Chain A
Amino acid sequence: MTATLFYILAIVSVVGAIAVIAARNPVYSVLCLVVTFFAIAGQYVLLNAQFLAIVHVIVYAGAILVLFLFVLMMLNLNRESEPLQPTLIKVIAVVSGGMLLLTLVAALRGVDQIPLAGVQDTQLGLVKNLGRLLFTEYVAPFEISSILFLAAMVGAVTIGMRSKSDKREIINHL
């Protein structure tokens, strides 16, 4: 049962991810990405990590991708025929994508030998155990990453700040 579900979800997530980059229309890409995220959330549920699954859905499918859709719709980027990119950009994209793949494969090589922290406990994904672990054993990385997020937020606000007249113009558009 679990194995069947795993394979179904895995196929859905891989096909969805391919469809994200294959789709011509960016709105379709976003919708395929939503499907992919749901399949991944399903994998988390299979691993008994309900909290991770639901947070994944809320944050990615519920907030970030809605924002993506919002921006795509507002800027009217839903053209079927996007202009063809110059060859140079294509070459650069292929090379950098290949390099990323190489890095990932190299990083994953020999990962079998490293003992994973705490996976022996199947109840780890439950919110109580997860919270306790985050605030005791892993408190330093947890706090550091939250500071990083805060810094990113401040940066985004600074970049996004505009003069008063610009703001009024944007609001008048809606």
Chain B
Amino acid sequence: MVLEKTIFILIIFSITLLIATYLTYFERKVAAFLQDRLGPDRAGPFGILQPLADAGKMFFKEDFIPAESVKLLFILGPGIAMFTACMTGAVIPWGDQLQLFGRTIDLQIADVDIGILYVVGFVSIGVYGIMIGGWSSNNKYSLFGAIRAGSQMISYELAMGLSLIAIVMLTGSLSVREIVEQQAGVWNVFYQPLGFLIFFICALAECNRAPFDLPECETELIGGYHTEYSSMKLGFFLFAEYINMFISAAVIATVYFGGYHFPFMHSLGLSENVVSILGILVLFLKIFLFIFIFMWIRWTLPRFRYDQLMHLGWKILIPLAILNMVGTGGFILLSTKM
């Protein structure tokens, strides 16, 4: 039992890292496609070995720590960013049950009672990596990046949590597995279109993706919070961002788009195991679709100005999310009375 879980955790972990590695390649290819270029095409066929070359370069670069920095925190920053990014995947159900060697295997690392709050919790402490890294660099651009990251996270977390509350009200459970199971018929996005939109925008902001990449915007802040970082520490920050993107897409797919469910999954006449494996593939298809939308937005929209960012978060998204929550509550009350 323990061995089973360990192997499963290792598989999920390596898949997450592999996907995050190849997202860098994917991003450059999407950018090239949107800008009518070729993108990386030198390393291997279609440039498929480019991420490995990049990683090799990152490892062999000089690892520089500024003299005036706070050394311990400077090293801790990227570590925290990476750790929190990797931890969130633990409560996501990657598929239904699988019957292997006469045993039933749950395709989820931990079915925690409060799964969805666990996700919110790890997202909310993810900003510490950026803030600690930016502050300890002892550079004003890094500091500005860190401050921006802090205020942006807090502003968008509220709307994100409020839109999730509406989902929890519909489902009546905080467990992610339960939320997915209830979407066997109709996906949550059809009940919660507004909630989905708010959640999606907040997910973009929480991942520091354009148009919300103010903590690291090159034109104003050089590199933002990672200005002073080099070598694999910089690599960790960038890598954590891609893991975050993968996990956010996974959360969106599980919470709003039915997770591993797909239409007519039980009327195909296939065995349980085949349906489960198809479910996993469908989930990954949904995840990649959202990742593509993330990239599409990044290479299409210009960056917000700082006051526009705050205006959108506090004066538009939060009132809308509260309205959505109250509306959902009223809808549930009416439908149970009738």
Contact with B along A118-129 (1 / 0, CB 8 A): 000000001100
Of all chain A residues, which has the CB nearest B307?
A: A171
Are B117's CB and A55's CB within 8 A? Answer: yes
Are A31's CB and B132's CB within 8 A? Answer: yes
Which of A66-74, A90-98, A104-112, A139-147 lies on the face that meets chain B? A66-74
| In the assembled complex, B151 has its CB within 8 A of some CB on chain A | yes
Answer whether A54 and B117 are a contact pair too, CB < 8 Å, given A63-B157, A73-B147, A174-B306: yes
Contact with B along A38-62 (1 / 0, CB 8 A): 0000000000001100110110011
Per the bound structure, the CA–CA distance linking A51 and B117 in Å amounts to 8
Are A61's CB and B150's CB within 8 A? Answer: no
| Chain A residues in 8 Å Cβ range of B128 | 34, 66
Contact of A63 among B124, B132, B306, B307 (CB under 8 A): B124
Per the bound structure, the CA–CA distance linking A63 and B73 in Å amounts to 20
Per the bound structure, the CA–CA distance linking A50 and B154 in Å amounts to 23
| Chain A residues in 8 Å Cβ range of B131 | 66, 69-70, 73
Are A61's CB and B135's CB within 8 A? Answer: no
Distance of B29 from chain A, by nearest CB (Å): 34
Distance of A19 from chain B, by nearest CB (Å): 14
Per the bound structure, the CA–CA distance linking A148 and B295 in Å amounts to 44
| Chain B residues in 8 Å Cβ range of A58 | 117, 120-121, 124, 161
Contact of B135 among A34, A66, A78, A174 (CB under 8 A): A78
Answer whether A54 and B307 are a contact pair too, CB < 8 Å, given A27-B135, A73-B143: no
Per the bound structure, the CA–CA distance linking A63 and B310 in Å amounts to 16
Answer whether A51 and B150 are a contact pair too, CB < 8 Å, given A171-B306, A174-B306: no
Distance of B221 from chain A, by nearest CB (Å): 11
Per the bound structure, the CA–CA distance linking A51 and B146 in Å amounts to 30
Within 8 A of A (CB), among B135-150: 135, 143-144, 146-148, 150
| Chain B residues in 8 Å Cβ range of A31 | 73, 132
Are B147's CB and A70's CB within 8 A? Answer: yes
Are A50's CB and B150's CB within 8 A? Answer: no
Are A54's CB and B148's CB within 8 A? Answer: no
Distance of B91 from chain A, by nearest CB (Å): 11
Of all chain B residues, which has the CB nearest A174?
A: B306
Are B121's CB and A62's CB within 8 A? Answer: yes
Per the bound structure, the CA–CA distance linking A73 and B157 in Å amounts to 20
Distance of B298 from chain A, by nearest CB (Å): 22
Distance of B125 from chain A, by nearest CB (Å): 5
By size class, the interface of chain B is: 20 to 34
Distance of B206 from chain A, by nearest CB (Å): 12
Answer whether A70 and B114 are a contact pair too, CB < 8 Å, given A58-B120, A78-B135, A171-B310: no
| Chain A residues in 8 Å Cβ range of B272 | none
Per the bound structure, the CA–CA distance linking A27 and B70 in Å amounts to 11
Contact with B along A133-169 (1 / 0, CB 8 A): 0000000000000000000000000000000000000
| In the assembled complex, B113 has its CB within 8 A of some CB on chain A | yes
| Chain A residues in 8 Å Cβ range of B73 | 31
Per the bound structure, the CA–CA distance linking A139 and B135 in Å amounts to 44
Answer whether A62 and B124 are a contact pair too, CB < 8 Å, given A73-B150, A171-B306, A174-B147: yes
Per the bound structure, the CA–CA distance linking A30 and B287 in Å amounts to 37
Are A70's CB and B120's CB within 8 A? Answer: no
| Chain B residues in 8 Å Cβ range of A66 | 124, 127-128, 131, 150, 153-154
Per the bound structure, the CA–CA distance linking A67 and B117 in Å amounts to 20
Per the bound structure, the CA–CA distance linking A130 and B127 in Å amounts to 30
| Chain A residues in 8 Å Cβ range of B114 | 50-51, 54, 127
Contact of A70 among B132, B150, B157, B161 (CB under 8 A): B150
Within 8 A of B (CB), among A12-43: 27, 31, 34
Contact of B112 among A50, A61, A174 (CB under 8 A): A50
| Chain B residues in 8 Å Cβ range of A171 | 306-307, 310
B: residues with CB less than 8 A from A are: 73, 112-114, 117-118, 120-121, 124-125, 127-128, 131-132, 135, 143-144, 146-148, 150-151, 153-154, 157, 161, 174, 306-307, 310
Q: Can you name 10 extra interface pairs (CB under 8 A) apart from A58-B121, A63-B157, A174-B306?
A: A34-B128, A50-B113, A51-B113, A51-B174, A55-B117, A73-B143, A74-B147, A171-B306, A171-B310, A174-B148
A: residues with CB less than 8 A from B are: 27, 31, 34, 50-51, 54-55, 57-58, 61-63, 66-67, 69-70, 73-74, 78, 126-127, 171, 174
